[in-house]
Amino acid sequence: MEYFDYRDGELFAEDVRASELATRYGTPCYVYSRTALENRYRAFDEALSPVPHQVCYAVKANSNIAVLNVLARLGSGFDIVSGGELFRVLRAGGDPSKIVFSGVGKTAEEMRDALNANIYCFNVESESELHRLNSVAHKRGQRARIALRVNPDVDAKTHPYISTGLKNNKFGVDIAIAERLYAEAAKMPGIEIIGVASHIGSQLLDVQPLLDAMDRVLALIDRLKAIGINLQHIDVGGGLGVRYNDEQPLEPGTWARALLPKLSGRDLKVMTEPGRAIVGNAGLLITRVETIKCNNEKNFAVIDAAMNDLIRPTLYQAWMKIVRVNEKSSAEVKNYDIVGPVCESGDWLGKDRELALEEGDLLAVRTAGAYGFTMASNYNTRPRAVEVMVDGERHTIIRARETLDDLVRGEALLP
């Protein structure tokens, strides 16, 4: 199902004209579809329905509290990586008993906050973290429920910046030492072992690396059983990709049908942490062409969105689809680099795009719901964009555009 589709040549977000949103809220403007979010969450929930499971949406992909709230209402849990994300989930009405806390550098303060909230599980990523968590929890007279996030050393075949399950990545505990660490954890007074986790990378299109990782994790689970450590859950991570261009994404149903048979006969709850696959195609970024210019026979369309709004193209050389909001144009089709106003040559959202453009035209960057706004910055003292949620014919601001005062908040002149 398409949530952002053309009707009579005009791009709609659900039942609202994208041009109406641009006029009403200004540009650049992130727009999310509530129906898309809900349907994508349900696709994961239903795919895992044959087994006890919990979908924990990865907050980093899009952490707006309205997005989190829509998912929390459907029963979603959350995968967090910071005290800030914990705060957001709680503010959004998320259930702490469905929170898993990943991340390689949890501070003692973050651990205390998460213990205070009584989250479901810490995904421990190093030996040092295990000792720190034990000591923080024990001092409070608590036991922290943990899974070790193991690094299974499989190649997820994705961009090196978003691959996380290889030996040379900083994530997780080397699976070769996991058994020893579990045995040590079993003796720690501040630790209760409940599971195991792995997450091998993002924008995965092939199920095989996920199956390979699972085989290694299941072998570990068997070794642990042999030494008397029985786990309650396996967290298979997130990472399913979406279609930016012509990729064939791995659908939740296909993924689950490949994964679940491996678990038959095992009494394990399945946890998963999808981010991009839930929000990626639930969002787009509307932007306006400010200036058309030609340098040395190269055409540039300078838009009012920039690398500070959407850094994926320049950071990962990610190809993101850029379309006209109004398909019709009397302008000549030319080859453009679509660039922002930021003072960096790397400030581009698309290169070599064949488009008919005039100054003032509206464009939309598709599949911008994941790792879009959450990676935005204020570089060049640019206020971050407004975020809007559409639900049928309704539309609401879920984050106001930043003001100039917002940008200097907390700064001070010398006395």
Ligand X SMILES: Cc1ncc(COP(=O)(O)O)c(C=O)c1O
Feature table: binding site: 239, 273-276, 312, 316, 344, 371
With contacts defined by CB under 6 A, name the span among 232-240, 292-300, 340-348, 359-367 that binds ligand X: 232-240
For the CB of residue 371, give the shortest distance to ligand X in the complex, in Å. 7
Taking a C-beta distance cutoff of 8 angstroms, is the pair 235, 269 a contact?
Answer: no
Query: What residues are labeled active site?
Result: 343
Residue 366 binds ligand LYS, judged by CB under 6 A: no
Two structure tokens written together for 119 = 């989250």
Q: Binding to ligand X by residue 369, rule CB under 6 A?
A: no
What residue is closest to ligand LYS based on CB?
371
Which partner in ligand X, ligand LYS, none is near 274 (CB below 5 to 8 A by kind)?
A: ligand X
The label of the residue with tokens 């967290």 reads: 235
Q: How far is the CB of 241 from ligand X (least distance, A)?
A: 7
From the list ligand LYS, ligand X, none, which binds 312 (C-beta under 5 to 8 Å, kind-based)?
A: ligand LYS
Closest CA to 401 of 30, 15, 49, 132: 30
Residue 30 interacting with ligand LYS (CB under 6 A):
no
User: What H or E segment, with its residue span, contains residue 33?
Assistant: strand 29-33
CB 104 within 8 A of CB 171: yes
34/387 Cα distance (integer angstroms) = 13
What's at 220, amino acid-wise? Answer: L
Tokens 């070794």 map to which residue?
A: 223
Q: How far is CA 305 from the centre of its chain?
A: 21
Six-digit token string for 307: 């690398």
Closest CB to ligand X among 277 and 342? 277
Determine the Cα–Cα distance for residues 61 and 375; give it in Å rounded to an integer: 9
Total of chain residues touching ligand X, rule CB under 6 A: 16
314 binds ligand LYS (CB under 6 A): no
Residue 160, amino acid: P
Does the protein bind ligand X through residue 199 (CB under 6 A)? yes
Strand partners, 4: 13
Minimum distance between the CB of residue 92 and ligand X, rounded to whole angstroms? 18
63 binds ligand LYS (CB under 6 A): no
> Which of 371, 373, 388, 389 touches ligand LYS (CB under 6 A)?
371
By CB under 6 A, the residues from 39 to 68 that bind ligand X are: 58, 61
How would you write 171-207 as a 3-class SS string?
Answer: CCEEHHHHHHHHHHHCCCCCEEEEEEECCCECCECCC
| Binding residues among 114-173 for ligand X as defined by CB under 6 A | 164
Give the C-alpha separation, 50 to 53, whole Å. Answer: 9
Does 53 bind ligand LYS (CB under 6 A)? Our answer is no
- Going by C-beta distance under 8 Å and a sequence separation of 6 or more, which residues neighbour residue 209? 154, 155, 156, 157, 165, 200, 201
Q: Output 134 or 198, the one with its CB closest to ligand X.
A: 198
- Looking up tokens 């998963």 gives 272
Binder among 115, 259, 277, 305 for ligand X (CB under 6 A): 277
**Shortest Cβ 133–ligand LYS spacing (Å):** 21
Residue 310 CB, nearest distance to ligand X (Å)?
16
Are 264 and 282 in contact, with CB atoms under 8 Å apart? no
Output the smallest distance, CB 375 to ligand LYS, in A. 6
**Among 238, 249, 252, 340, interactor with ligand X by CB under 6 A:** 238
DSSP H helical ranges for 248-397? 252-259, 276-279, 312-316
Segment contacting ligand X (CB under 6 A): 23-31, 178-186, 214-222, 234-242?
234-242
Binders of ligand LYS among residues 190 to 209 (CB under 6 A) are 202-203
Task: Give binding residues for substrate as ranges.
Answer: 276, 312, 316, 344, 371
User: Closest separation between CB of residue 237 and ligand LYS, Å?
Assistant: 9
Residue among 246, 259, 261, 265 at smallest CA distance from 212? 259
Q: Is the peptide bond before 28 cis (omega within 30 degrees of 0)?
A: yes
Interface with ligand LYS includes 244 (CB under 6 A)?
no
- What x/- string results for residues 158 through 177 when contact with ligand LYS is judged by CB under 6 A? ----x-x-------------
What number of other Cβ atoms are within 10 A of residue 206's Cβ? 13
State which of positions 375-404 bind ligand LYS (CB under 6 A).
Answer: none
The yes or no reply on residue 210 touching ligand LYS (CB under 6 A) is no
Nearest Cα to Cα of residue 33 among 325, 388, 376: 388
Binding site for ligand LYS (CB under 6 A): 60, 162, 164, 202-203, 312, 316, 371
Binding site for ligand X (CB under 6 A): 58, 61, 79, 102, 164, 199, 202, 237-240, 273-277
